[in-house]
Each structure stands twice: as C-alpha cells, then as structure tokens.
Structure 1
Amino acid sequence: MTRRRAVLCVRIAVLAGSVLLLEVLCRTGVIDPLTVIPPSDMVASMIDRLGSGEFNDSVVSTFSTIALAFLLAVGFGTLAGALIHRSPRLRDVTDPLLASYYSVPTFIFYPLLVALLGLGKAPLVVLGVLSAAPAVMISTLSGLDGVSPVLLKLARVHRLGPVRTLWWIVLPAALPRLFSGFKLALSYALIGVIAGEFILSGTGLGYAISFAYQSFDNRGMYGLMLFVLLVAVTANGILYVWEGRLARRRSQG
C-alpha cells in the first residue's frame, strides 16, 4: 500500500469513527436531539427532502449561482493576478490589501449589493466573486513568483511567443499553486452565496436552511446542511483528483 492510500484509509477511518461516535451519543441521549440529530436521521431526511422534489428549484438556483461565481472568480482572479505580477508598483499597492482582505467578512456588503443590483442572483454572484477572487489572485501571484527564471530563459532561447510561453512554460510551472487557489475559491464562493441566501435572500438552499432553523425543523435543517456539505466535499474532491492527474502528466512529460 502506498503512502497516499494509507493516508486516505486513515482519514476515512477517522471520519467513520467520528460519525459512529456521534450516532451513539445522539441515540443514547448524551446529546440532546433538539441540538443535534443522529447522522442516520440526517441522511434519511436528506433523501426524503430531495426525493420529494420540494427543493429542486432551490438546488438549481443555489448551485448555478455558486458555479457562475466560481468561474467568474477564477477568470477575474487569474487575469488580475497576472496583470499585478507584471507591474511592481501595482504589486506594492495590492499586496497589503490582499493580505488583509479576509479580515473583513464580505457578506456584510450584501444589503448594499441588493440596493444597487436588486433582488435575485446578481448580488449573490457578486458576493461570491468578492469572496473567492482574492484567493485566486493570491495563488496566481504565488504561482508566477515560483516560475524559475531558467524556464523563461529557455522559452526565449526557443523563440516562443507570449502565448506559447504562457501555455507551455508558465502555466505548467504555476499549476500546483493555481489549483490551491481554485480549491479555496470554490469554498469561498459556496460560503459567500449560502451566507447571502441565509441572511436576506428569499430563495435557495441558504434560505431553506434558515427557514427550517427558524421553524425548529431540525430534521429538515440538518438534512439540507448535509446535502450542501456532501456537494462541497465532492466538488473539492474532483478538483483534487484533477490536480493530481495534471501533476502526474506534467512529471511524465
């Protein structure tokens, strides 16, 4: 067994043990069911709610908004990071701002965004981009900083144009740090959109979770929360696998 598989097995064992322990504590009454319901009830509630079709519109609305915010954040963040990297003066100005950016919770701007853009997806998308784009910018700057000058000199020796240099030299060299930013961006976009729906929106899974909480519907609340958690973990897992495959192709090349 390789080290990577051994680590994966340990993680699965720890997760399974934690879930089993929570199940036992809930079933034996150590944890009040008004606080947390057993994990098996969470799964059953998730299946019931999704199977009924009651939340189909909310699922589509929330995850389409997250996907759009994520794609815009990746595109804008990568482009902005590349432009900042080319300008030392602009880098000196933006570095302190990026370093302190996440000290301010971006979802506090949601009421302002609603006033400017109205209700609907637009303020949620902007909120998701504001939450996710700086992570991509930081990872892009870090990745470009890590490109060896020898590789750039090699591109000039072979007379590669800017596009070929970017595609064949810069992106493969910066890829590990770029993917770290992409994974963070997905998490931040999800947090931004769900938080926005939770606070002021009248649609989406965030609103549904908030409504269930205010209605003391623990079963429905935990079922929806589990669904969001599973989707987020699955999406990050896909990015992780994709990153590993690209890294292997790069090493083989």
Structure 2
Amino acid sequence: MRDRILHIGSVLLFVLVVWQVIHWVTGSIAVSSPVETVERLAALMRTDEFWGHARETTTAFVQALGIALGGGLLIGLLLGGWRPAGQVFEPILIAIYSIPKVTLYPVVLLLFGLGMSAKVAFGAIHGIIPVAIFTLNAVRALNPVYVRAARSMRLSTGQMATRVLIPATLPEIVTGFRIGFSLTLLGSLIGELFASQRGLGFLIMRAVNVYDVKTIFAVTLLIAAVAVVVNSAMLALDQKLHRRM
C-alpha cells in the first residue's frame, strides 16, 4: 500500500511539474496553470449553475453505465454459455466495436432526439460491447467441469449464471466493468459536447466557444480526477481478485 501511494504521488508530482512548465512556455492564453485551474474550479463549484450541470451529467452517466454493465454482462453470459451463438456473434461485436462511435451519433439523434435519452444511449453504446466481450471470453475459458457439475445438479439457467458462471469468472468481469466504466463516461461526455444544452460536456463546449481556457481546464480536471480515482479503485479490486484466483 505504501509503495502504491508513493507511486501515485510521484506520478501526480510529475504531471503537475510538466503542466506548470507547459504553462510557462505557452502562457495563460493556451494553458492555465495548476493554481489558476484549481481556483477557477473552486469558483465554479460555488455556483448553483455548475451543480445543475453536474447533476445532469451524473444522471446520464449512471443510467448509461447501468445499461452498459447489465446489458454487457447478460450478452456475454448468453453468448459465452451458448458456444455456437458466441462463435457467430463475437466477430460481429468486434466489428461493431471497431466502428468510430462518433459516426453513429447522427443515428442516435434520429432515434432518441436531443436531450437525456441521446446522451444515455451514446454512453451505453461505448461501454456495452467491451463488457460483453470480456464476459464472453471469460465464460468460454471456464473449466467445463464447473458447467457439467451444475448440469448434473439440475441447476436452472439463472442459477447456473449466478452460482457458477459469475463467481468463477468474476475477475475478468470486473476487468470488463473497469473498461466499460471509462468508455461509458467518455461516451456520455461526447454526447454532451455535440448536442446538449446541459451537463459538464456542454460547459466545456461553451467555454471553448468563448475561449475560456480556465473553465476548460477546470472542468476537465474535475472529470479526470473522478475518473482516475474510480478507475484506480476498480484496478485495485481487479488485481486483488486475480491474485486470489
């Protein structure tokens, strides 16, 4: 634990030093300093408008994450447990995942319109396939003895999933969830950047339009900090589960 803290501290110090040096080279017109960014973030967080945008982003992200994780887990379990279907649909999932998601945004807008539903859909599109692929491969690599034992005990499909498949493949599922979390957050924010009147992504885009560098960096810093903290916690859990297995 101590080594991990020292490592994180070293990386954070390095990032701050590089950030400050870039600020000195380019000036505030291009990159705000770490101190200016934190001051601007503190000022934003004292306004009701900021928290309204933050709630909008949080609501969209939580809904998209629930769809991505739940849907991806279900798809992965079904395709992994039924090998013929997995062999057919895995290449299709990979092909869809390779498509740049921005190109799908006009379709999402046509189907869901502007607003919350479009952001949720765009976020879920980013995260659901990685979760499904990780779960599918984990179930496929599972020792067949577990499945045969479950069938010999006449477990139902739901019981096999909750009592055998998920516990036995939990480390890989958590890995998929960690990647799905990051991609879903990215998708939700991209949705707000392109067609939204509320949310942290909208705040960034509005700041870009008026060239408000401090606000751009302040909101970006907040999002990055939340993403790093959550991802680090999930990575620690991921590593712990893999060591136990």
Contact residue 189 and residue 201 of structure 2 kept, 8 A: yes
8 Å contact 1:198–1:210 — kept in the other structure?
yes
Partner residue of 2:118 out of 116, 123, 131: 123
Does the 8 Å CA contact 1:23/1:40 hold for their aligned counterparts?
A: no
Q: Residue 166 of structure 1: SS of its match in structure 2? A: helix
Question: Secondary structure of 2:26's partner?
Answer: coil
RMSD (Å), alpha carbons: 2.3
Q: Which residue of 2 aligns with 1:76?
A: 71
Aligned pairs for 1:142-221 (under 5 A) are: 142-156=137-151, 160-221=155-216
In structure 2, give the amino acid aligned to 1:64: T
Could you list the runs of 5+ residues in structure 2 that have no partner in the other structure? none
Identity %: 28
Deviation at 1:55, TM superposition (A): 1.1
**2-structure distance, mates of 1:119, 1:175:** 37
- TM norm structure 2: 0.89
Deviates more, 1:11-20 or 1:157-166: 157-166
SS of the aligned residue for 1:202 comes to coil
Matched, 1:23 2:20: yes
User: Contact 2:81–2:140 (CA<8 Å) still a contact in 1?
Assistant: no
User: What TM-score do you get using the length of structure 1 for normalisation?
Assistant: 0.86
Alignment length, in residue pairs? 245
2:224 aligned with 1:224: no
Cα displacement string for residues 136-194 of structure 1 (whole angstroms, at most 9, x for unaligned residues):
11011111022212333444565655444433332122111111111111111111111
Aligned partner letter, 2:17: L
Q: Deviations over 1:28-85 (max 9, x none)?
A: x323322211112111111110122221111001111011001111111111122222
Q: Output the amino acid matched with 1:6.
A: D
Q: Residue type matched to 1:211 in 2?
A: R
Indicate the residue corresponding to 2:6 in structure 1: 9
1:159–1:80 distance in 2 versus 1, CA, 3 Å: closer
1:104-115 correspondence to structure 2 within 5 Å: 104-115=99-110
Contact 1:146 1:173 in 2 (8 A): no
Distance 2:164 2:101 in 1: 35
Distance 2:235 2:193 in 1: 28
Tell me the secondary structure at the aligned position of residue 25 of structure 2: coil
Which stretch of structure 1 is more off in the superposition, 159-168 or 141-150?
159-168
Instruction: Output the CA distance in 2 between the equivalents of 1:85 and 1:33.
Output: 52
